[in-house]
Structure 1
Amino acid sequence: MTLRSVIIGTGSALPPRRVSNAELAQEVDTSDEWIVERTGIRFRHIAAPDETTGTLAAEASKAALASAGVAAADIDLIVLATATPDQTFPATATKVQALLAIDDCVAFDVAAVCSGFLYAVQVADSMLRAGVHKRALVIGAETFSRILDWEDRATCVLFGDGAGAIVLEAQDSADEGGRGILATKLHADGRYNDMLYVDGGPSTTQTVGKLRMKGREVFRHAVVNLASVMSESLALAGLKPSDVDWVVPHQANARILDATARKLDLPAEKVIVTVDQHANTSAASVPLALDTAVRDGRIRQGDLLVLEAMGGGFTWGAAVVRF
């Protein structure tokens, strides 16, 4: 028998305020046509002052727990991926723990920007398969609107706020191709820091800072890196692109999604796309897209999924999952 981490529930949360390109164009020198043509984005959700990364993460977690039919008290591990924590410390995961009224469990944050959820998945998967924990909440949550320069039209139109979560459970499996996380592969290359970063931090400027990005260079690296890591993760699982039912990608840019799919000879209809409705929600985008496709019936139990993302650092990664 083999211990495997199985996704038994998904959930997501979005702030009620939904901002269209047309509304954004009233405040920023841009237009709906300009944004859609370059990114595919039409809407994004923006957090209200009383909404935080932690509150959105807790809401998504409650939805995932309900989906799994699991009580919060049954969770013994919380791994939360975010680049926009509620506080410098403690970890926002501990705030989620408190909001869920869990008396005691391991809870910590992972910082890998847009790849954070994939990093969190591998960490939680390793801990579950080691037999140390039984059930984990793995969360991606962001309030990127708080770190945007709203005078920079090249970046402020790209991002939104939200959260997504999954419940992972360690289960015995005698079937190599059975349900669960089959393979993960992560990468990082800090030489590209200046292509996508925030120009602040406690130990440097003592400020939160604002997001800065060289979009053209990020696009080029994203297409190459994402196609490569998806191929690597499938190879680790002993599978090939034609075996894949659905790709659940980081929702950064519709053109990146199209170009990555073409590199792997995957039909566009196998790619889950939510960037038009949510924009780029960084670490939240993969679990948000996953929950959307599970709830609308596209993704079903037994489907083979590839989750992938790339973000600042650069960091990038992929996971092959039998749902």
Structure 2
Amino acid sequence: MLRRTSERGAHDFALTTPSRQRAQHVCVGGIGVEIPQPSISNEELVETFNLWVDRENAARAVRGEPPLARSDADFIVNASGIRRRHVYEREGILDPERMAPNIPARADEELSVMAEFGLKAARKALAHAGADAGDVDLVICAASHHQRPYPALAVEIQQALGAGGAAFDMGLGCSSAVAALHVAANLVRAGAHRKVLVVTPELITGHLNFRDRQTHFIFGDASVAMLVEALDEGESRPGRFEIVDTRGWTQFSNNIRTNFGFLSRLSQDDPSFLEMEGNMIKQVGNKVFKEVTVAGHQFIVDFLAEHGHTPNTMRRFWLHQANARMNAMILKLAFGKDVGQDRAPTVLERLGNTAAAGAVIALHENHEDMHEGDFGLLCAFGAGYSIGGALLRMM
């Protein structure tokens, strides 16, 4: 194995040969969460949106086009449960002339924005685990959106941390973090790696169309990280979670989609110009709600049954933080009754939908009251459609 030994940008390497053996038990040894300070309330977001709509409708009236609908803060709460969201950069989002965060470009020699965001959570996860960056032999950067195709953000994070081994990026919409946990846990269990750092920097407001009434209120920014470690025979890590099993599921759907990519510009008359309208996040909200609710419920029941469990044997559910009504409906189908915050806590009221980071934040904030032997299910749903699940046991 080659381990980088130099400062950022240099190319000196040293050969290391870590000992490897198949691990029967794997745990989440540390979790890190970074939530940016700036926040935006529904009222602020709606005021800006409606200012833009009023101006746009005046122009549409002249052209003889139908008017656009205004937004409403109470509607947002009723539809999603979201009251506010934290954002990486507030400036520009509330400007009706811009309606996008103002994040200046950085030179290639500088640490990229997403890598920097991911590093903050990564360092917290390592500190929580009591681990050194040099012990990490794989970094996976798993997010719903990536700043660029290459060099992989994971490799940039690996270098900035001083980690060894290898690194790669992966994405599966809002299921990305749990999908990466699935990959990491099985690589460690197979003996290919000993410590895998999963980093999920979700800077999703940079890809959000704040002029789209269906999606402008949904998302917020957050970064999370998890250190997945092998457990030696007989080893226990009190207060940490053993990963009993993980599972993934996908089924193609266009109901949540983004067309932003390098081919997008080639459909333009001027390939040097990219029209962003139609290339950012869009979704058919009512279809997503109905179809993901059914699929999510079935996934949970089937996955738990494989291990002799039912929803009632779970102390806690940490579900994807997209929509409070959707989570409530999934669990009502599973339990046959309404389930409260203690069994299935939500954080989206104050954070919005933080994409793949949301379920991990719910786990981070709601586990310290659990006891040894308690089981919980981490489960996320995303575009694709995709679903990822991890059955966890408190050690």
TM-score, reference length from structure 1? 0.91
Contact 1:185–1:232 (CA under 8 A) maintained in structure 2: no
C-alpha separation between the residues in 1 aligned to 2:143 and 2:265?
Answer: 20
Aligned position for 1:319: 390
Task: Determine which of 3, 15, 20 is the counterpart of 2:41.
Answer: 20
* Structure 1 position 174, deviation (Å): 6.2
Tell me the C-alpha RMSD between the 2 structures.
2.1
Contact 2:85–2:219 (CA under 8 A) maintained in structure 1: yes
Higher-Rg structure is 2
Task: Determine which of 153, 162, 183 is the counterpart of 2:245.
Answer: 183
Unaligned runs of 5+ in 1: none
Unaligned runs of 5+ in 2: 1-21, 51-70, 90-102, 105-111, 267-273
Contact 1:183–1:233 (CA under 8 A) maintained in structure 2: no
Contact 2:140–2:170 (CA under 8 A) maintained in structure 1: yes
Where 1:180 maps in the other structure, the secondary structure is strand
TM-score, reference length from structure 2? 0.75
Where 2:145 maps in the other structure, the secondary structure is coil
Residue 157 of structure 1 aligns with an amino acid whose one-letter code is: F
Aligned position for 1:237: 307
Residue 114 of structure 1 aligns with an amino acid whose one-letter code is: C
Question: With CA pairs under 8 Å and 6+ residues apart, which has the higher RCO, 1 or 2?
Answer: 1
Q: Is 1:281 matched up with 2:354?
A: yes
Contact 2:23–2:230 (CA under 8 A) maintained in structure 1: no
Task: Determine which of 144, 156, 164 is the counterpart of 2:216.
Answer: 156
Residues 1-323 of structure 1: pairs in structure 2 closer than 5 A: 3-29=24-50, 30-48=71-89, 49=103, 52-102=113-163, 104-172=164-232, 180-190=242-252, 192=253, 194-205=254-265, 209-265=279-335, 267-268=339-340, 269-294=342-367, 297-299=368-370, 302-323=373-394
**Higher helix content, 1 or 2:** 1
* Structure 1 position 211, deviation (Å): 0.3
Residues 272-294 of structure 1 deviation map (CA, whole Å, 9 limit, x = unaligned)? 20111111111111212212224
Residue 246 of structure 2 aligns with an amino acid whose one-letter code is: T
C-alpha separation between the residues in 2 aligned to 1:105 and 1:139?
Answer: 15
Q: Which region of structure 1 is more displaced relative to structure 2, 15-24 or 253-262?
A: 15-24
| CA distance 1:299–1:105, shift in 2 (3 Å) | farther
Q: Which region of structure 1 is more displaced relative to structure 2, 311-320 or 51-60?
A: 51-60
C-alpha separation between the residues in 1 aligned to 2:201 and 2:23?
Answer: 31
Identity %: 28
C-alpha separation between the residues in 1 aligned to 2:120 and 2:284?
Answer: 33
Residue 113 of structure 2 aligns with an amino acid whose one-letter code is: T
Where 2:147 maps in the other structure, the secondary structure is coil
* Structure 1 position 139, deviation (Å): 2.3
C-alpha separation between the residues in 1 aligned to 2:141 and 2:370?
Answer: 23
| CA distance 1:110–1:299, shift in 2 (3 Å) | farther
Residues 209-261 of structure 1 deviation map (CA, whole Å, 9 limit, x = unaligned)? 31010000000111111111111221222222111011000000000110011
Where 2:128 maps in the other structure, the secondary structure is helix
Residue 282 of structure 1 aligns with an amino acid whose one-letter code is: A
C-alpha separation between the residues in 2 aligned to 1:234 and 1:311?
Answer: 20
Residue 66 of structure 1 aligns with an amino acid whose one-letter code is: A
C-alpha separation between the residues in 1 aligned to 2:315 and 2:326?
Answer: 19
Residue 89 of structure 1 aligns with an amino acid whose one-letter code is: Y
Contact 1:165–1:288 (CA under 8 A) maintained in structure 2: no
Where 2:312 maps in the other structure, the secondary structure is helix
* Structure 1 position 155, deviation (Å): 0.1
C-alpha separation between the residues in 1 aligned to 2:362 and 2:169?
Answer: 21
**Higher strand content, 1 or 2:** 1
* Structure 1 position 138, deviation (Å): 1.5
C-alpha separation between the residues in 1 aligned to 2:282 and 2:372?
Answer: 39
